[in-house]
Amino acid sequence: MVYEPAPPHLTLLARNPKKSYDFSMYPLSSRMENAKPSFVREILKVANRKDIISFAGGLPDPSLFDLEGIKEATQTALSKAPQAALQYGPTDGYIGFKEQVAKVMQTRDVPSLNLEQMLITTGSQQGIDLISKIMLDPNDVVLVERPAYLAAVQVFELYQANLMGIEQDANGIQIEDVERAILECKKAGKRPKFLYTVSTFGNPSGSTLTLDRRQALLEIAVREQLLIVEDDPYSELRFAGENIPPLYALTKDVAGSSEYVVYMSTLSKFVAPGLRLGWMLVPSGLMQPLTIVKQAADLHSSSFAQYVAAAYLETGRLEAQLPKIRAKYGEKGQAMIRALEQTIPKGILEFNAPSGGMFLWVKMAEGVDTMQLSSKAIEQNVIFVPGVGFFPDTKRTNYLRLSFATPSIEQIEEGVKRFARAVLD
Amino acid sequence: MVYEPAPPHLTLLARNPKKSYDFSMYPLSSRMENAKPSFVREILKVANRKDIISFAGGLPDPSLFDLEGIKEATQTALSKAPQAALQYGPTDGYIGFKEQVAKVMQTRDVPSLNLEQMLITTGSQQGIDLISKIMLDPNDVVLVERPAYLAAVQVFELYQANLMGIEQDANGIQIEDVERAILECKKAGKRPKFLYTVSTFGNPSGSTLTLDRRQALLEIAVREQLLIVEDDPYSELRFAGENIPPLYALTKDVAGSSEYVVYMSTLSKFVAPGLRLGWMLVPSGLMQPLTIVKQAADLHSSSFAQYVAAAYLETGRLEAQLPKIRAKYGEKGQAMIRALEQTIPKGILEFNAPSGGMFLWVKMAEGVDTMQLSSKAIEQNVIFVPGVGFFPDTKRTNYLRLSFATPSIEQIEEGVKRFARAVLD
């Protein structure tokens, strides 16, 4: 995003999205009429200023990268199969990496899986794009969480979908609201193409769908032939409470439901985002269309990265690394909550303490505009993401997202002081 | 592409593409109605059989990968900036890699360029997808070469474009045919969204657009506001004749034309395809829309691969590697031509000796069906790509593509003997 000199993100947000470009010179496609740069990434530009403390990004703490292990894995990959690691590979991914992903999935209650129903992607972001490409025509309905992951919303909007929000609480999306949305669609003669959910440690909500709701959702999926796209980037980052199996793992308990869950995950949050490696686990009927659009998109994801990642996962070092990662994010999350409680009087902010992930989702009083608060915060040299962008189908101005993943504990404490000054100003 | 047990590629080709999937279970998007697996990649499955000699793929000769150099670069990248190499990065690419790409472009008659108009992609395949995404609505016209690069055709068809072929000869696309196509579009009330060309050592044609035609094409671009998408993966692989600057470099000579050329290239053919790194050089007005769709597609290409590639290009080892690469492909191309001339009587095949690249484009007598020939060739344990797939808007059955890049010279000689048996059968 170096195209233009970093604009203050507020300017960008204030822009009329319909006028993002000059269409007079180039006859762009109609999907670009509403396209705008992700405002999170625009805020991240400000984040590069040395004096800024950022609660905005979802970047993993780089001190948690297992550098030694990855260096070693790189050597192994380039010694064992150098030519294959540097050559073109199969569209659906390198089998050796797939096998390692299957082992990761064992720790997520998926004891075995069919590697022919796994597609390796360039991060799970690409999974969102590919499933949209095979499913969405303009005006198709996609059900999303309220609030929803911003970069997914961006993709769905590029496919000119109609987004319909499902209310969410600390226990994830509300099942009765899923029913309500489906009914509304039926009345309009529509069938939702899929429901997209970050089921565990949601972004931005931090909330996790309960086991009961998971089962209920799978039953709805079967009954309504509703495809569920489960995005699961954060489940390795649990620092409190008990694991809850992903929807994908629970399909074994609900007859027929395995045909209706597409699962996506990534190495980005617990190995390294720079590898840009994710995976999709898909019903057999969707594998061929997905492989076709993947091939058209980039032939396949980096063989080099896949061989290195496979070699890394083979070392078993991750087992020792994960507890460190979880402990660190747990500490940071607690530090942020403690600092907020110490600096801001009760009743001004409302949030649930997350059991994992990277985010604290904060509600303020009705009428508060967190976009305006963001400007004040930037004056105090601290940034966060105003909530408005996470609500594609409603306008809620009084939410904001704080990430505790990237800054150090000292920075969290100092950043919260600055944030408090902006809030209490 | 491991989705289904490798089918004989002929079966796949014979399929009615309208019936590639069962739409009854999943309501796929309309773009999937005509989507089919690339038949080149399907043929490549047969290529994995040990007894097969393959003239089908465009895989670089892996003995030409600079393993030592890449190993060293990997060490450098992980020592110099390990955390950045493993972290999320900017959507448009790592600046250090961009600088190295700019140096590569200097050898292609582009003495300087604006790094803010460069977008790093996951291979140049992704460039084809991204430009299509920002430009194409269903039924938009795209001008392509006759014959055209198959994987580009596949992308354009996924965007539901109407492809219009431009006749090509040994000197590249015929300018008068470009004029004819534009006129035809005008009569139909259409403006072509862009013209896509592999200008140097075309795939599959092997032909290179002459300097005169390049200039004429740029003039048409300005006059007709026709965007030219120049795909240039092969220009480093020249083994005979003089360099011809890419269209992108020639825009400086034709006033206004720089606004109408999008240039794409890749490390795949002269460093390593497994890195999956390509780049686009684009007019300033297209950089923001392209960055937006790139971000939605995969956030950014692998930081890890970009840091390694930058470190590799910095070593300057490529300068010593390129002459080896060119010499080797030159030898192989000559070996193939010699073998064909020795084994197949004059008049049966027609082809132009290419000055670079990886392909020999062969014409047979009218009425010959190279799909049928392909079956016979498989019986002889040799494969090639029948030409029919390269003609999206016409049906020409008497062409085929032979790649000399991957097999050894011994394999080329033996493979041509087998091919001759199929031809002369």
pLDDT digits (tens, 9 = 90+) for B367-421: 999 999 998 999 999 999 999 999 999 999 999 999 999 999 999 999 999 999 9
- Between B50 and B152, whose confidence is greater? B152
Please give the torsion angle defined by the CA atoms of residues A391, A397, A402 and A403, in that order, rounded to the nearest 10 degrees. 20
**Based on the domain organization, do A34 and A112 belong to the same domain?**
no
Q: Are B2 and A94 in contact (CB under 8 A)?
A: no
**Based on the domain organization, do A82 and A35 belong to the same domain?**
no
Contact A193 B27 (CB under 8 A): yes
Contact A276 B302 (CB under 8 A): yes
- Is A1 within the bounds of a domain? no
Contact B90 A276 (CB under 8 A): no
What is the per-residue pLDDT for A37? 67
How many domains does chain A fold into? 2
What is the per-residue pLDDT for A3? 29
The pTM of the full predicted model, rounded to 2 decimals, is: 0.94
What is the per-residue pLDDT for A35? 81
The residues, ordered by sequence, that sit 6+ positions from A212 with a Cβ below 8 Å of its Cβ are none
- Is A3 within the bounds of a domain? no
Encode burial over B256-281: b for 16+ CB neighbours within 10 A, e otherwise: ebbbbbbbbbbbbbbbbbbbbbbbbb
B222 in reach of chain A (CB within 8 A): no
* Cα–Cα distances in angstroms (integers) from residue A250 to residues A9, A265, B119, B298, in the given order: 41, 16, 41, 28
Q: Are B134 and B289 in contact (CB under 8 A)?
A: yes
| Nearest C-alpha neighbor of A196 from the set A240, A244, A151, A259 | A151
- Is A131 within the bounds of a domain? yes
Mean pLDDT over A34-57 rounds to: 77
* Of A325-329, A389-393, B93-97, B226-230, the least confident: A389-393
Mean pLDDT over B264-277 rounds to: 97
Q: Closest residue of B to A36, CA-based?
A: B292
Residue A121: helix, strand or coil by DSSP? Answer: strand
Picking from A27, A92, A302, the nearest residue to B302 by CB comes out as A302
CATH number at residue A166: 3.40.640.10
Report how many Cβ contacts below 8 Å link chain A to chain B: 293
Picking from B1, B83, B159, the nearest residue to A90 by CB comes out as B1
What whole-number distance in Å separates Cα of residue B108 and Cα of residue A287? 40
B35: confidence class by pLDDT, cuts 50, 70, 90: confident
What whole-number distance in Å separates Cα of residue A252 and Cα of residue A244? 15
- Between A11 and A332, whose confidence is greater? A332
Q: For chain B, what is the mean pLDDT?
A: 92
**Based on the domain organization, do B329 and B349 belong to the same domain?**
yes
Radius of gyration of chain A (CA): 21
**Based on the domain organization, do B258 and B356 belong to the same domain?**
no
Contact B32 A134 (CB under 8 A): yes
B50 in reach of chain A (CB within 8 A): no
Residue range A228-266, pLDDT digits in tens: 999 999 999 999 999 999 999 999 999 999 999 999 999
A1: confidence class by pLDDT, cuts 50, 70, 90: very low
A2: confidence class by pLDDT, cuts 50, 70, 90: very low
- As beta bridge partners, residue B420 has none
A89 in reach of chain B (CB within 8 A): yes
Contact A35 B60 (CB under 8 A): no
A38: confidence class by pLDDT, cuts 50, 70, 90: low
What is the per-residue pLDDT for A13? 31
What whole-number distance in Å separates Cα of residue B127 and Cα of residue B294? 9
In the listed set B286, B315, B344, which residue is the last one of a domain according to the structure? B315
- Between A181 and A23, whose confidence is greater? A181
**Based on the domain organization, do A196 and A246 belong to the same domain?**
yes
CA-based nearest distance A91→chain B, Å: 5
Contact A305 B302 (CB under 8 A): yes
Residue A120: helix, strand or coil by DSSP? Answer: strand
What single-letter amino acid sits at A88?
Answer: Y
A68 in reach of chain B (CB within 8 A): no
What is the per-residue pLDDT for A250? 98
CATH number at residue B388: 3.90.1150.10
Contact A289 B59 (CB under 8 A): no
- Is B178 within the bounds of a domain? yes
In the listed set A275, A292, A315, which residue is the last one of a domain according to the structure? A315
Q: Closest residue of A to B130, CA-based?
A: A297
Picking from B158, B293, B302, the nearest residue to A158 by CB comes out as B293
What whole-number distance in Å separates Cα of residue B234 and Cα of residue A376? 53
Mean pLDDT over A65-80 rounds to: 96
B83 chain-A contacts, CB cut-off 8 A:
62, 65, 67
Mean pLDDT over B211-229 rounds to: 98
Contact A299 B276 (CB under 8 A): yes
From the number of C-beta atoms within 10 Å of its C-beta (0-12, 13-18, 19+), residue B219 rates as middle
In the listed set A255, A290, A315, which residue is the last one of a domain according to the structure? A315
What is the per-residue pLDDT for B3? 29
B300 in reach of chain A (CB within 8 A): yes
- Is B64 within the bounds of a domain? no
**Alpha-helical regions (H) of A58-149:** 67-80, 82-86, 95-106, 123-135
Reply yes or no on whether the pLDDT at B44 is more than 70. no
- Is B171 within the bounds of a domain? yes
The Cβ-side half-sphere exposure at A326, using a 13 Å CA radius, reads: 17
Reply yes or no on whether the pLDDT at B8 is more than 50. no
Reply yes or no on whether the pLDDT at B41 is more than 70. no
Picking from B225, B287, B289, the nearest residue to A35 by CB comes out as B289
A125 in reach of chain B (CB within 8 A): yes
- Is A232 within the bounds of a domain? yes
CA-based nearest distance A335→chain B, Å: 24
A155 in reach of chain B (CB within 8 A): yes
Contact A126 B88 (CB under 8 A): no
E strand map for A162-215: 162-169, 172-173, 194-198
Reply yes or no on whether the pLDDT at B109 is more than 60. yes
B11: confidence class by pLDDT, cuts 50, 70, 90: very low
Please give the torsion angle defined by the CA atoms of residues A192, A194, A195 and A196, in that order, rounded to the nearest 10 degrees. -140
B292 in reach of chain A (CB within 8 A): yes
B110: confidence class by pLDDT, cuts 50, 70, 90: very high
A80 in reach of chain B (CB within 8 A): no
**Based on the domain organization, do A87 and A224 belong to the same domain?**
yes
Contact B296 A83 (CB under 8 A): no
**Based on the domain organization, do A216 and A109 belong to the same domain?**
yes
**Based on the domain organization, do B106 and B34 belong to the same domain?**
no
**Based on the domain organization, do B179 and B128 belong to the same domain?**
yes
What whole-number distance in Å separates Cα of residue A200 and Cα of residue A235? 6
B68 in reach of chain A (CB within 8 A): no
Is the ipTM beyond the 0.95 threshold?
Answer: no
CA-based nearest distance B197→chain A, Å: 17
What is the per-residue pLDDT for B250? 98
Q: Which domain holds residue B356?
A: 9-58+320-424
Encode burial over B141-156: b for 16+ CB neighbours within 10 A, e otherwise: bbbbbbbbbbbbbbbb
What whole-number distance in Å separates Cα of residue B374 and Cα of residue B88? 46
Residue range B304-357, pLDDT digits in tens: 999 999 999 999 999 999 999 999 999 999 999 999 999 999 999 999 999 999
Q: Closest residue of B to A93, CA-based?
A: B1
Reply yes or no on whether the pLDDT at A156 is more than 50. yes
Radius of gyration of chain B (CA): 21
What is the per-residue pLDDT for B48? 74
Reply yes or no on whether the pLDDT at A283 is more than 50. yes
**Based on the domain organization, do B277 and B382 belong to the same domain?**
no
- DSSP letter for each residue of B176-203: HHHHHHHHHHHHTT---SEEEE--SS-T
Reply yes or no on whether the pLDDT at A106 is more than 60. yes
* Of A36-40, B113-117, B378-382, the least confident: A36-40
A71 in reach of chain B (CB within 8 A): yes
Residue A402: helix, strand or coil by DSSP? Answer: strand
Picking from B78, B122, B151, the nearest residue to A71 by CB comes out as B78
**Based on the domain organization, do A270 and A339 belong to the same domain?**
no
Picking from B65, B82, B291, the nearest residue to A67 by CB comes out as B82
**Based on the domain organization, do A261 and A356 belong to the same domain?**
no
Q: Are A372 and A423 in contact (CB under 8 A)?
A: no
- Is B117 within the bounds of a domain? yes
What is the per-residue pLDDT for A40? 64
A289: confidence class by pLDDT, cuts 50, 70, 90: very high
